[in-house]
Structure 1
Amino acid sequence: MFSNQTVLVTGGTGSWGYELVRQLLKENPKEIRIFTRNESNQFTMKQEFDNHPKLHFIIGDIKEKDALIEACCDVDFIFHLAALKHVPVCEDQPIEALKTNVIGTQNVIDAAITCNVHRVVYISTDKAANPSNFYGLSKAMGERLIIHANTLKTNTRFVCIRGGNVLGTNGSVIHVFKRQIQEKQKVGITDLNMTRFFLTLQDAIKLVFKATIESLGGEIFVMKMPACKIVDLAQVLIEASGKENIEIEELGIRPGEKINELLLSKYESKTTIAYDDEYFVILPSIHIPGLKEHYSNYKPINLESYHSGTGLMSQNEIKEMLMKGGFI
């Protein structure tokens, strides 16, 4: 699908971007454009990929539509990763989160339509389901904009991917815990009952490709993901470190945090179908021509919601997951 195609990745110098580019290069694309505002990260990534001739790095900000339009010229696919992602940052600076995560996403939509891009894939988050913080709210608004874009008079198709925490990404709790174990001999957890969804980066990108290829436009593809208690994750990392007398300290929930994350809300479950063993697909409440007919033979899900507090992994299963990802 990506052979001899030009791909634009916004926010492509993060962990998702690195793995996405690695897997895209295997598909023999014509060109991959990395569009970010961080010059230092671009320089590092260019070195990591040995100045690969198919990678083209563009300094730019998704808040600037003209720069996006220029970057989108002759592009076939856009993977929209750029966002302000840290919950506390978005709580403290909601206007900046709004500019990047909402207005920036609309700029991506406008640029894609202007340049007649074939398909745009928006990477969303479990925090967009029934959001309790500004980050989740801004990503939920981004989802709605992406879905609505399929009602416009354009050949460009737009689809959303919604996932949970990806192991080992920048700022990942795994890196935080490992550093705390080594440097402080204790691990800080906001609440001992807190649970989260997890997936390896490699599996996440493979699922993104699947949705890119098989979607019609207007859906939210929801990755089915294993979940665990954060305290169990910490215990496994402590055991793997070989250190003794590591304390676990309960810090209290931060503003906007949930005990359990949602990948699928009670409201959304009413329009969600069971796509296959890896995905649920949320169909939009607005009318998009041909979409409901396309999925008419799929069964609706038998779930009220899909949250991280059920089907929890054991500590042995967490250990296997971390070993698979190369974290222990």
Structure 2
Amino acid sequence: MLNGKSILITGATGSFGKAFVDTVFKRYPDVKRLVVFSRDELKQYEMSQRWSERDYQAIRYFLGDVRDASRIKRALEGIDTVIHAAALKQVPAAEYNPFECIKTNILGAQNVIEACMDHQVERVVALSTDKAAAPINLYGATKLCSDKLFIAANNIRGTRATKYSVVRYGNVMCSRGSVIPFFQQRRASGVLPITDPNMTRFNISLQDGVEMVLWALENALGGEIFVPKIPSYRIADVAEAVAPNCRQEIVGIRPGEKIHEEMITESDSYQTVDLGRYFAILPSGGHYTMDQYCESTGAKRVEPGFAYNSGTNSDFLSVEQLRRLIEEQVPN
């Protein structure tokens, strides 16, 4: 699928970007070009120690910020596939610095959309988050806006072949800033801070996130928000799995946090279909109807009022399952 293609990943020095690059080089050895686009020169240097331009002739390191429209346009010359992973995603930082988050997550998204359209990029997949569904914090609100921009881009592409779609998934198990590495760092103290013992979150592995993006690149018709079927976990169970001998101290939820996360709301259900491994929230008033989409893909409509919530999910990870996954995926 990606052999002979030229790919650009925004925010490529993050956890997802590095896992995506690793997978592409292992699976598609004849990829034509793979552009790492990010604003952090140190992270690019560190990444180049693993994937050097000498050993991996397809890779390119391109310094730039999605806020800079002219820079992203320059980077997209000759590119036919784009993965948009750049974002400011720390909830407390976004609450304290709202317009900085807006400039990257919304204005930056629009810059990527317009540059892809101008260069007639074939396929664009943007990464979203469960916090974009019924958002209560600024980060989630900016990602919802970003999702809307990418989906609406399909309406203004004219005769261009560009297809824009979005993947929305939950907490990535070994990503930077996630709860498991935090608990690992704190367990030597003997006390783990727990926001709320009832709190739940969706869980996805980094590789499963990569696989989902690759699947979307191959199968998207344009305009979908894809949602994976993944398990949930309880924060208290994660603490038990990481450090069973530590005392759990309840500290209360932070501003902008939910007890449970959603990826599909009841309001979304009327535009949602089941694709087997994934759900897809379809655009209203897009270039296909729901019936046409179902006929083309074999999808089935979900029941009206359906919602996908981490607290009511039918699939929960046990403490032992969490412990096993942590051992496999998260370095101590």
Q: TM-score, normalised by structure 2?
A: 0.93
1:219 pairs with 212, 224, 232, which one?
224
Q: Does the aligned pair in 1 maintain the 2:174–2:330 contact within 8 Å?
A: no
Report deviation, 1:225.
Answer: 1.1
Letter in 2 for 1:301: V
| Map of 2:302 onto structure 1 | 301
Report deviation, 1:322.
Answer: 2.2
Q: Does the aligned pair in 1 maintain the 2:52–2:59 contact within 8 Å?
A: no
Q: Does the aligned pair in 1 maintain the 2:133–2:262 contact within 8 Å?
A: yes
Q: Does the aligned pair in 1 maintain the 2:154–2:222 contact within 8 Å?
A: yes
In 1, Cα distance between equivalents of 2:81 and 2:290: 21
- 1:170 equivalent in alignment to 2:176: yes
Q: 3-state DSSP class of the match of 2:161?
A: coil
| Map of 1:234 onto structure 2 | 239
Runs of 4+ residues deviating >3 angstroms? 289-292
Letter in 2 for 1:178: Q
1:30 pairs with 23, 29, 32, which one?
32
Length, aligned pairs only: 321
Q: Does the aligned pair in 2 maintain the 1:194–1:260 contact within 8 Å?
A: yes
Report deviation, 1:250.
Answer: 0.9
- 1:256 equivalent in alignment to 2:261: no
Report deviation, 1:90.
Answer: 0.8
Letter in 1 for 2:83: F
| Map of 2:12 onto structure 1 | 12
In 1, Cα distance between equivalents of 2:217 and 2:163: 10
Q: Does the aligned pair in 1 maintain the 2:196–2:253 contact within 8 Å?
A: yes
In 2, Cα distance between equivalents of 1:226 and 1:325: 16
| CA distances 1:169-227 after superposition (whole Å, capped 9, x unpaired) | 11111110000002x22111111111001111111101111111011000011011110
In 1, Cα distance between equivalents of 2:289 and 2:169: 25
Report deviation, 1:321.
Answer: 2.5
User: Structure 2 stretches of 5 or more lacking a match?
Assistant: none
Report deviation, 1:324.
Answer: 3.5
Alignment of 1:1-328 (within 5 A): 1-26=1-26, 27=28, 28-51=30-53, 52-152=56-156, 153=158, 154-182=160-188, 184-239=189-244, 244=245, 246-276=246-276, 278-289=277-288, 292-296=291-295, 297-302=298-303, 304-310=306-312, 311=314, 312-327=316-331
Q: CA RMSD in A?
A: 1.4
Q: TM-score, normalised by structure 1?
A: 0.94
In 2, Cα distance between equivalents of 1:258 and 1:113: 36
Report deviation, 1:50.
Answer: 4.0
**Percentage of matched positions with identical amino acids:** 37
User: Structure 1 stretches of 5 or more lacking a match?
Assistant: none
In 2, Cα distance between equivalents of 1:45 and 1:291: 42
Letter in 2 for 1:169: S
In 1, Cα distance between equivalents of 2:103 and 2:116: 18
Q: 3-state DSSP class of the match of 2:128?
A: strand
| CA distances 1:269-298 after superposition (whole Å, capped 9, x unpaired) | 11101101x200111123224675132453
Cα distance change, pair 264–7 in 1 and its aligned pair in 2 (3 A)? same
Greater shift after overlay, 69-78 or 184-193?
184-193
Q: Does the aligned pair in 2 maintain the 1:283–1:292 contact within 8 Å?
A: no
Q: Does the aligned pair in 2 maintain the 1:218–1:291 contact within 8 Å?
A: no
Letter in 1 for 2:175: T
